[in-house]
Structure 1
Amino acid sequence: MATTFASAFGLLARKSAAAAASPHHHHTSHSSHASHATRREHYCRNDYCRSYFWDVVPLNELFFIVNVVVMPSPPSLRRAARNPYMDLPDPRPASGPPPPGSADCFFGGLEDLGFFPDVWGTTDGVSNFTLIFSTRDGYMSRASFFQTRLQDCPFQVITFRERMTPLAKYTAISPASVSSRGSSMRNCVESAAAIVQWADLSTTMSISNVGEHMEGVSREMADRLSNTQWLTREPIERKRIALVRGRPDINTGGPVYQAARSLGLDLVIIDDPGHWLQPNTSYNKQCREAFLATDMTEDAGVVNRIIKSLNAYPLPIHGIFTLSDNFFVTVATVAEAMGLPTCPVSAFETAVDKYRSRLLQDSPGHTARVSSVHELNALLSVSADGKNQPSFTPTYPVIVKPTKGWSSECVSKVTKPQDLALAVEKATNRHGSSAVIEPFFDGPEIDVNFVLLKGEILFCEIADEPPCQADANDATVHDTFSPEALTLPSALPAYEQEIARTTLRDILVKLGFDTGIFHVEARMVNSSCEYREIAPGVVDLVPKAAPPPERPVCRLLEINARPPGYRVSVPSRHTYGVDYFAVRMLAAVDDMERLRMVAKPFSYASSRTPGAQYWSRLVYIPAPAVGTVTESRISPSDELKLRRPELAKHIVLAVDYTRPGQRIELYTDGARTYVAHMLVCSRVSRQEAIEVGNEVLANYQLGLRQD
């Protein structure tokens, strides 16, 4: 492409003076190079003139793009163009086709889309745009498709426009029609599915470098668009979906509401009266279609109350889902009663019960369930005459956790018998549930997220969870399993990742979970890798000095029949381009075609896991001390970015949880209290991502007043 760009720019340079002298001069010529077709145009408006050209680049059988490069106006004319509101005569007629020789191309079309002259017309740099086209007709699967695929692009995006609404019809044009002699840029703009304005290039760049830059843009677009379709062949039926429990705030709920809106799904919220989404404010109406106030008390009547609310709603409901662990069984029961898509109730009943899910992969006598310390003592007791032996003999270390629970709440590692009763008491006091006593599996912990369709793995992502407090050899019963970070993609060797995928997928499908998104936590026992310090202060998963004596096995820790929590869903969406909330809702309304579409990751092929656009590190920021949050003009995350700009360029996303005047404790519900999370990335190496994450953690400053 460099040769094509060089010839195009050479022609532009030679014609610049003539174009400036003749405001209505219009030059069109054609050149081909490989699979590209380049057009050169001039737009002149009285004393304001810019030369530009476009290049048609086929990406694959699904998409092609048009890269547009606009040269700055000559210095003598640039001063007159500083005022974007200057009163200049327009060579185009008020109506009808443009007269011969006029330049009805780039300016007119982009102006209609909001690219006004004050954005691109008066720049001293070289403006560049990319127009995206589908090669096929069809119906739009998702409104924010291109925005999702372009997130965190290494080329800086200044302005981005998607022209289509969800479910709308798109009519394709061919690359040949764009590059034909009769085509104009205005026609291209009007037919484009999306338009990207990139950061201006410096006029000091060589022609060759400009060509290389645009080649890089084209490669980047290919990696993001090559393996996924965004249009369905048949019209998409508009559907309505009910969400049970509307999420506690906009941080946790925002990605859900945005996904529903982009998919063209009408969202109905079912929750207790007084929920923040109940009032019919203009903002709330953007998040949901309706709010059905319902008593959500977790008793025997909650299923009937939800069904009654749905039946009373005047519009049809096509699906129902929840992201709240304690309502999985309830919602599946409602779905079955109303004939809505769902996995079996029995599968959810097993998944939410940590004891029953442990038995899916257990050896006899290794796991026990007790409802009290008294029951524990009876289980461990030996009769005075020695005839009655203990029915359960734990092999330390063991894990003690609530049968019903989440977020590592009240989960303890017990290394000595005298601490067992304390751990059981802590677990049984949480959620009023019994406690599970199970083996501690020594090995790297992993999060495995599956997108399944009738048992087929559409997408599987494995992330590494570095050691936490309770993983230490000298950990006590008071140390927690609260996560400290998450690193993507996994550093486990490919064969161990395949063991994890196969083992955990088979468990899910056997249980009845064959379609949807599932977040599974596990450990690799006898792994060939271990965590070691690889640089000062940098601990990561690396190969052991000697291979393990036994074959690696994957041990299930727990099944979450939902997307990972909103914090952990963020890295997947950014790293791979897969939106788990969209997957969850499409499965709930039985839209299998679009589910397959949204489960496609990027097509990057490099030293990283295929599909990942970079290495990423999710950093949890724990409360530094007990106290009350002080007033500040900016958030701690924004303050960090301003203070450390070299870190800011790696920060993909930062979310602060605290507000001034809020009381902060070190622990909440038996788990560490977090005050923020940040996602950082590196396109250089996994080690750099970890190092940046460590720096972010060390430099985050939350103002606290000691009471």
Structure 2
Amino acid sequence: MDQSYNVVGTWPWKLDPLPGDTGTVVVDVRSSSTLQRLSETSTCDALQFLLEKADEDQYLVKLLLPVVSGYVVQSDFLARRMIDCLDVAETRGFIAPGQRVQGCTPATYESMTLLELLPHCYGAIVVQKDKTAQVNEELAKRISFSWLSPSPIARKRVAVVGGGSFTKLEGFAVAAASLGVALVVFEDPGHWASSNAYSHIREEFVPLNMTADAAMDQRIAAALSEYQQRNTDGNRLDGIMTVDEHLLTIISRAATLLGFNTSPPEAVGLAQNKFQTRQLDTNVYCRLVRSMAELEHLLEEDGPRLPYPLIVKPSKGWSSEGVWKVANEQELRAKVPMLWQDAFTAWHGRDVVVETYVDGPEVDANMVLVDGRVVFFEVNDDFPSPGDYADDDKAGEQDSTPVANFVETSNMLPSALPPSELEALQQRLHELALAAGFRDGVLHLEARLRNSSCHYTKDPDASNSDGLVDLKLNPLAKSTTKPEDVFLLEINPRQPGWQEIEATAHTYGVSYYSLAVLHALGDKDRILALSRPFVGGAQYHMQLLFVSARKGGVYRWGDVCSTVLRSDQGRHLAAHVVKAVNLIEDGQEVPDPRTGMVYGNFIAFFLIVSRTTRCEAMRIGREIEQLVRVHTDGF
């Protein structure tokens, strides 16, 4: 028996304090033949977990005990923070939302028997026996944040108006439950959330006419006020949110009418209007056209001076839908009218922006604001879309080549830009967010960096990079790293798309699902606590790979993610994939990307990681995409 292990109570264990910010000590427990005897005198969850793991000789269990007291800010924080941790086989939490936890000093724990220790345990992890020191180091990086609140945390209730799809809502529902927040869904009668099959993700379903008209904010406010009047027993609403992007401004106005926390409706409305957003930073050519007559007027007035290439896009668009680069007047005349098709105007209206195309690395930047301060900021590299490439005049003519649009292809976390340029991005984007009127909440911003020291190119040493295009230092560049070199593409007054939410949660341990729910409540203390990333930043290099259809038609290849990762060619890649989701169902009609429509165009996405190099993650991503193309016959 290792003499460092305590044998009080006939079960060998050892206590290791962790750094103070974790509020935790670790008790390493090895298996023992006396385990069953202990189970006869206790029924606590921690003991039952030990019983489950008693026969796994290659592992030991680390029990986590608090050295501080308080109220749990999120009941599943341990699982969220230990995600993808090396050498951890399993994680289990033993606490409820808002539960009070009573901490003891390490010396007090040392004097206890194992049975006396177990009721204090807030969680446990199963680790390989020879990796205990390394896992303790990981625990110090991952749980060094304020996971306990000094004040009690009351149960809350949030109205979700516009429930969207199950895929979009599920992550918010899981986060809300762990925060002690119930969701009440307000939606059209017959919406999927009305079914009892989904009662586990919402407390109640309330039918509501969701017709998007001028009176919608008033109608929503009236429906929620009526709900409040019916629930005089304390089950009242404390906030409102939506997962439908086109409702953001309407929900902000309704929240204001009801006195709920929200970003100013004026700020949300400005951010959802790309032409108005451009007025925050008028250092490029930008015009708005609503009809062929206005387009002709623009050409007559500015034609000789138009700074081609230009971008045309819906002023109230999203997901890069209807975004085109045009090289001359002929292309401008061809692309703008495409955005006045009924399929576009029904969602995005008739306002079309014509503006300068700005070259330079594009980024997705996610920012969390509390009282105007940036409390979390991360940048990922948004790789060039087909439309970025200069020689795009033939792109999309053949079914096998990508259409020259601006659909997402790949993001890399964390960014490869140098620290000075990341600092310039944060400074300028923060300034613009404040100028737009935002002081609190989660913002998803997209920008390009002019005069960057980096550009996308193939590494000249192909033996190391396999000829992959990546962000590299440009020996010809003269970087200024000035904030004014940051060109804002758009401010989205919301968390990023759910695929990117998953990527950030895996990479940094920060959940935008959780932060969005807390923003609806105005719970700044918990937002501050849960905006702390892992100590040291990203835990690995991650590629967020989108595979989109190259042509329209009917999809008929089933779950291509499983097909690829279980195939003989793809099985060796699966260990690097932490999440993969098919985004198209069999029989689904997919729009032709040559029309500019991209909604419903993504086949699948993959979260691909490497703990060694960025290049490795990208190389694996390329192999996976090639396999998807093979298994879908180039669809």
Query: Which residues of structure 2 form unaligned runs of 5+?
Result: 396-402, 460-464
Aligned residues: percent identity?
Answer: 30
Cα shift at 1:636: 2.1
What are the superposed Cα offsets for residues 427-482 of structure 1, whole Å, 9 maximum, x if unpaired?
A: 23322321000111110000010000011110000000111100001224961000
Where 2:199 maps in the other structure, the secondary structure is helix
Find out whether 1:265 has 2:167 as its counterpart.
no
- What do the CA deviations read for 1:187-211 (whole angstroms, capped 9, x no partner)? 2222111011235x5xxxxxxxx3x
Residues 250-399 of structure 1 aligned to structure 2 (within 5 Å)? 250-279=166-195, 281=196, 283-313=197-227, 314-315=230-231, 316-363=236-283, 366-381=285-300, 389-390=301-302, 393-399=305-311
Provide the C-alpha distance between the structure 2 equivalents of 1:551 and 1:54, rounded to a whole number of angstroms: 51
Query: 1 CA distance for matches of 2:199 and 2:9?
Result: 46
Q: Does the 8 A contact of 1:529 with 1:543 survive in 2?
A: yes
- Determine the structure 2 residue equivalent to 1:608: none
Task: Answer whether contact 2:608 2:620 (CA < 8 A) is retained.
Answer: yes
Kindly indicate whether residue 171 of structure 2 is the aligned counterpart of residue 246 of structure 1.
Answer: no
Q: Aligned partners of 2:32, 2:256: CA distance in 1, in Å?
A: 63
Q: Which residue of 1 aligns with 2:58?
A: 126
Q: 1:402–1:428: 8 Å Cα contact kept in structure 2?
A: no
Structure 1 match to 2:373: 456
Q: 1:491 aligns with which of 412, 416, 419?
A: 416
Q: Distance in 1 between matches of 2:505 and 2:520?
A: 20
Instruction: Return the alpha-carbon distance in structure 2 between the equivalents of residues 693 and 401 of structure 1.
Output: 29
* Superposition pairs of residues 565-644 of structure 1, within 5 angstroms: 565-604=497-536, 611-623=537-549, 626-630=552-556, 635-643=559-567, 644=570
After the TM superposition, which residues 11-22 of structure 1 pair with which residues of structure 2 at under 5 Å, given as runs?
A: 11=3
The match for 2:399 is none
Counterpart check, 1:193 vs 2:128? no
Instruction: Check the 8 A contact 2:31/2:54 in 1, yes or no.
Output: no
Q: Is the 8 A contact 2:453 2:479 kept in 1?
A: no
| Per-residue deviation, 1:274 | 1.5
Following TM superposition, by how much is the alpha carbon of 1:500 offset from its aligned partner in structure 2, in angstroms?
0.6
TM-score, normalised relative to structure 2:
0.90
Question: Which of the two has higher C-alpha Rg?
Answer: 1
1:698 aligns with 2:630: no
Residues 629 and 702, structure 1, Cα contact 8 Å, conserved in 2 = no
Out of 686, 702, 705, the position equivalent to 2:614 is 686
| Residues 413 and 475 in structure 1, CA contact (< 8 A), matched pair in contact too | no
Task: Judge conservation of contact 1:167–1:235 (CA < 8 Å) in 2.
Answer: yes
Contact 1:323 1:562 survives alignment (8 Å): no
The corresponding residue for 1:539 is: 469
Distance 1:629 1:344, change over 3 A: closer
Residue segments in structure 1 that go unaligned for 5+ positions in a row = 1-7, 12-30, 32-37, 44-50, 74-87, 96-103, 202-209, 382-388, 605-610
Aligned equivalent of 2:462: none
- Return the letter of the residue paired with 1:259: A
**Conserved 8 A contact 1:41-1:52:** yes
Q: Are 1:350 and 1:357, in contact at CA under 8 Å, matched by a contact in 2?
A: yes
Letter in 2 for 1:621: V
Contact 2:141/2:535, CA 8 A, preserved across alignment = yes
Say which SS state the counterpart of residue 513 (structure 1) adopts: coil
The one-letter code of the counterpart of 1:396 is Y
- Between the two proteins, the alignment pairs up a number of residues equal to 605
Q: Is the 8 A contact 2:239 2:261 kept in 1?
A: yes
Distance verdict in 2 for CA 1:285–1:167, change over 3 Å: same
CA drift at 1:289: 1.4
Distance in 1 (alpha carbons) for counterparts of 2:169 and 2:535: 29
Following the alignment from structure 1 to structure 2, what is the Cα–Cα distance between the partners of residues 299 and 113? 55
Q: CA deviation at 1:112?
A: 4.1
> The residue matched to 2:579 in structure 1 has which SS?
strand
Q: Which residue of 1 aligns with 2:105?
A: 174
Which residue number corresponds to residue 335 of structure 2? 423
Relative to structure 1, is the Cα distance of residues 144 and 419 closer, same or farther in structure 2, using a 3 angstrom cutoff? same
Contact 1:270 1:292 in 2 (8 A): yes
Mark the CA change 1:629 to 1:417 in structure 2 (over 3 Å): closer, same or farther.
closer
Mapped pair 1:225 → 2:143: yes
Note the C-alpha offset of 1:92: 6.6
The amino acid of 1:333's aligned partner reads R
SS state of the match for residue 65, structure 1? Answer: strand
Rounded to whole Å, the distance in 2 between the matches of 1:397 and 1:391 is 13
- Mapped partners of 2:14, 2:597: distance in 1: 60
* Contact kept? 2:452, 2:478, Cα under 8 Å: yes
- Distance, in Å, in 2 between the alignment partners of 1:239 and 1:591 is 11
Q: Give 1:354 shift.
A: 0.8
Is the 8 Å Cα contact of residues 525 and 554 (structure 1) preserved in structure 2? yes
1:662 is displaced (CA, Å) by: 3.0
Separation in 2, partners of 1:408, 1:656: 20
2:105, 2:252 → 1: CA distance? 46
Q: 1:379 to 1:659 in 2, by over 3 A?
A: closer
Q: Which residue of 1 aligns with 2:361?
A: 444
TM-score, normalising length: structure 1:
0.81
Please give the alpha-carbon distance, in whole angstroms, between the structure 2 residues aligned to 1:509 and 1:569.
23
- Aligned to 1:153, the other structure's residue is in SS state coil
Letter in 2 for 1:474: D
Contact 1:332 1:344 in 2 (8 A): yes
